[in-house]
Amino acid sequence: MKKLIKSSKWARRIKWSILTGTILIFAVIVCANYAVRHTAKAFIYQNIDSIPQNKAGLLLGTSKLLRSGLPNQYFQNRIQATVDLYKAGKIEVVVISGDNSRKGYNEPEDMKSELMLRGIPEDKIYLDYAGFRTLDSVVRIEKIFGQKSFTIISQKFHNQRAIYIAHAKGLQVVGYNAEDVNAYSGFKTQLREKFARVKLFLDLWTGKNPKFLGEPVIIQ
Q: How large a percentage of the chain has pLDDT more than 70?
A: 88
In the structure, what pLDDT confidence band is assigned to residue 142 with cuts at 50, 70 and 90?
A: very high
**The pLDDT of residue 61:** 94
Mean pLDDT over residues 26-39, rounded?
Answer: 84
- Quick one: pLDDT at residue 168? 94
| pLDDT tens digits, 44-55 | 999 999 999 999
Q: Evaluate the CA torsion angle 43, 90, 140, 211 in order and state its sign.
A: positive
Mean pLDDT, range 145-149, rounded to an integer: 96
Q: Which of 5, 6, 8, 27 is nearest to 16 (CA)?
A: 8
Percent of the chain with pLDDT over 90: 60
Would the pLDDT of 17 be above 70?
no
Beta bridge partners of 150: 173
**207 and 46 Cβ atoms separated by less than 8 Å:** no
Confidence of residue 27 (pLDDT cuts 50, 70, 90): confident
pLDDT (average), residues 204-219: 88
Contact 29, 198 (CB under 8 A): yes
**Are the C-beta atoms of residues 152 and 166 closer than 8 Å to each other?**
yes
Mean residue pLDDT across the chain: 88
Q: pTM value?
A: 0.86
Q: Is 188 helix (H, G, I), strand (E, B) or coil?
A: helix
Closest of 213, 215, 217, 154 to residue 189, by C-alpha? 154
pLDDT confidence tier of residue 184, bands split at 50, 70 and 90: low
